[in-house]
Structure 1
Amino acid sequence: MGEELKVIVFGLADEEYGIEVDKVQTIERMMPITRVPKTPSFIKGVVNLRGVVVPVLDLRGRFNLESTETTENSRIIIVAVNELEVGFIVDAANDVIDIDTDSIDAPPEVVGGIKAKYLRGVAKLGNNRLLIMLNLAEVLNKDEIIQLEQLEA
C-alpha cells in the first residue's frame, strides 16, 4: 500500500478535482475581486485577504472550459505555489479525503478537455468515482508566476 495523501476535493464543470491539503492555505467564499489591466483573461484580478494582496485565477478560464456565473457554492481556494499565494475560483469545495497514492494513475492525454500537463494524475476512488489531481506547478507555469508576482508587488 502507498502513502495516504490528504486532498481537498473541489468541483469544476461537473468533474471532481483534488489538490493536496498541504498546498492549500484557506478556502474562502467569493469576495470582491479587483480587475488588473493587461493580464490574461483567466486572471480575474486580486483580492485583499487579511491585508495580503492575492492574485485570483478562474480555473474554468485557465482550462478553457465554458465560464459560468459564480453561485452561492463558488469558492476561492487559496494555494501556495513556490512561496506565491494564488486564489483559484472553483464551482464548489466539497470535502477533504484521504487517498492512497497507489490509486493515482498517470493522466490520459486529455481529461474533460484539460491537457495532461496540468494534471498530476487520476485517482480511482471506488464506486467508479474518479478524482482528477491537479499539478499546481503547471497550472501556474513560470511565465504566469512572474506576472502574478508583479501583481502582488
Structure 2
Amino acid sequence: MSAAAELSKADDRELVSFRVGGQDFCVDIMAVREIRGWTPATVLPHAPAYILGVINLRGAVVPIVDLAARMGLEPIRPDARHVIVICVVDHQTVGFLVDAVSDILSVRHSLIQPTPAVSSDITRAFFEGVIAIDQRMLRLIDIEAVLPPIATRQERP
C-alpha cells in the first residue's frame, strides 16, 4: 500500500449507521460493543420517559434508552423487529433502542460537516456533525451528550 493510500485510510472514521423514526443517524464504531435484538426491559419507576428500563446483559444491568424519545422524536413502540445498540462510553454501558442498523461505513473526516447554526443548542450538543453520503443525510451522534447523566448517590449523614 502506498504512503498516500495509508494516509487517506488513517483519515477515515468508522461509523455504524442506523435508522430511528425514519431518519438516518450514526455513531463511532469504537463506542459500539454489540448489536442485539429487542429484549423487553424491566421498567424503573421514576426514570425519565426516554429510559425504557434495564436488561440483563450477561450479568450486567444495562439501561435501555429510547433514542427517538431522547432526541425529541416520536417514541418507539418496541417489538421484535427493533434493535438495541450496546455502547460503552467512559465506562458506562448503555443500550440504545433503534429501528434498524443499516451499515458500517468508512467516512473521511473531511466529509463530516458541522451541525448547521440554525439548529438549537440542544440539537448541536447531541450531534458532532452531518454527513452527506449515498444520497442520504446522516447525523453523527455525540454519544456522550446523548447518554443520560450518571446520578451519584449522596452520602447519608
TM-score, structure 1 length as denominator?
A: 0.85
Please, which of 68, 87, 92 is the counterpart of residue 84 of structure 1? 92
Tell me the SS of whatever aligns to 2:149: helix
**What is the aligned partner in structure 2 of residue 132 from structure 1?**
139
Question: Which 10-residue stretch deviates more, 64-73 or 48-57?
Answer: 64-73
TM-score, structure 2 length as denominator?
A: 0.83
In 1, Cα distance between the equivalents of 2:50 and 2:11? 34
Structure 1: segments with no counterpart, 5+ residues: none
Please, which of 70, 75, 78 is the counterpart of residue 67 of structure 1? 75
Q: Answer whether contact 2:35 2:83 (CA < 8 A) is retained.
A: yes
Tell me the SS of whatever aligns to 1:145: coil
**What is the aligned partner in structure 1 of residue 102 from structure 2?**
94
Q: How does 1:1-153 map to 2 (within 5 A)?
A: 3-108=11-116, 109-110=118-119, 115-126=123-134, 128-140=135-147, 144-147=148-151
Question: Which 10-residue stretch deviates more, 93-102 or 71-80?
Answer: 71-80
In 2, Cα distance between the equivalents of 1:63 and 1:138? 11
Amino acid of the residue matched to residue 72 of structure 2?
N
Shift of 1:71: 4.0
Root-mean-square deviation over aligned CA pairs? 1.9
Shift of 1:29: 0.2
In 1, Cα distance between the equivalents of 2:49 and 2:71? 12
Amino acid of the residue matched to residue 41 of structure 1?
A
In 1, Cα distance between the equivalents of 2:62 and 2:76? 22
Structure 1 segments (4+ residues) deviating >6 Å: none
